[in-house]
Amino acid sequence: MWSLSLSFYAGNKYVVRVFTADINGSGTDADVFINIFGQHGDTGERKLDNDNDNFERGQEDKFTLDAPNVGKLRKINIGHNNKGGSAGWFLDKNLSSVLSPKVLIEDIGNKANYEFPCHRWLARNEDDGKIQRDILVGGAEATDVILPYRKFISSYTFQLYWTFPVVASFVVFYYSCLQMSHLALMDSLASKDYRS
């Protein structure tokens, strides 16, 4: 249990490259956020921002995040706050060009690269109206069975940690186990061939 907690709180760098689709209206003026999930927990929600005009049509944007080392990546949660004149955003999985729209993450500390293709709108007035999506490594969209509790866990764990360090370590460990069980179930379901 202690090694899990120590590795979770160790620092890491993630280089996040976001590719916006090259179709009409695909760029966004909204604030974009990402949460990276791995085998040891998540990074917490991080705003993707730099000095550039980000998330425009057909554009690649690059961000470096300092965050906890979450181990082998499982999924991301990416979305926006729906603010600005043109809030809708389209992430695509078109892999035919060098500038193919998707999210790529380079895990500097663990020397690994991950791809998260989406091929969906994140817009209130397009597709299914969602402005936030869970995307598994490789592109399958995750269901949110265990994860509704993540905001509760993230917001109170650090308060607990300073008051009751043993309780906080248990909360992180227990939540990580629940999350890993859910992701293992999703991986096993995704790998089955249901065709007759």
Instruction: List, for residues 151-163, the tens digit of each pLDDT value.
Output: 444 444 444 444 5
Residue 104, classed as helix, strand or coil, is strand
Instruction: Compute the distance between CA of residue 25 and CA of residue 39 in angstroms, rounded to an integer.
Output: 36
Band of residue 102 on the pLDDT scale cut at 50, 70, 90 = confident
Distance of alpha carbon 111 from its chain centroid, rounded? 18
54-58, 68-72, 159-163: lowest mean pLDDT where? 159-163
Q: Which of 49, 136, 31 is nearest to 87 (CA)?
A: 31
Distance of alpha carbon 114 from its chain centroid, rounded? 11
Mean predicted confidence (pLDDT) in 32-59 = 93
- What pTM was estimated for this model as a whole? 0.66
Instruction: Compute the distance between CA of residue 14 and CA of residue 5 in angstroms, rounded to an integer.
Output: 19
How much is the pLDDT for 114?
A: 94
Beta bridge partners of 42: 37
How much is the pLDDT for 78?
A: 94
Please give the residue that has the higher pLDDT: either 9 or 48: 48
Q: Which of 173, 139, 182 is nearest to 41 (CA)?
A: 173
How much is the pLDDT for 74?
A: 95
Mean predicted confidence (pLDDT) in 104-110 = 93
pLDDT at 189 over 90: no
pLDDT at 119 over 50: yes
Mean predicted confidence (pLDDT) in 28-48 = 95
Q: Phi and psi for 172 in degrees, rounded to 5? A: -65, -45
How much is the pLDDT for 120?
A: 85
Residue 141, classed as helix, strand or coil, is strand
Select the CATH number that applies to the domain covering 10-143 from these four: 3.30.230.10, 2.60.60.20, 3.50.30.30, 1.20.120.80: 2.60.60.20
Band of residue 2 on the pLDDT scale cut at 50, 70, 90 = very low
Instruction: Compute the distance between CA of residue 103 and CA of residue 92 in angstroms, rounded to an integer.
Output: 9
Mean predicted confidence (pLDDT) in 172-181 = 53
Instruction: Compute the distance between CA of residue 182 and CA of residue 130 in angstroms, rounded to an integer.
Output: 22
- Domains of the chain, residue spans: 10-143
Band of residue 181 on the pLDDT scale cut at 50, 70, 90 = low
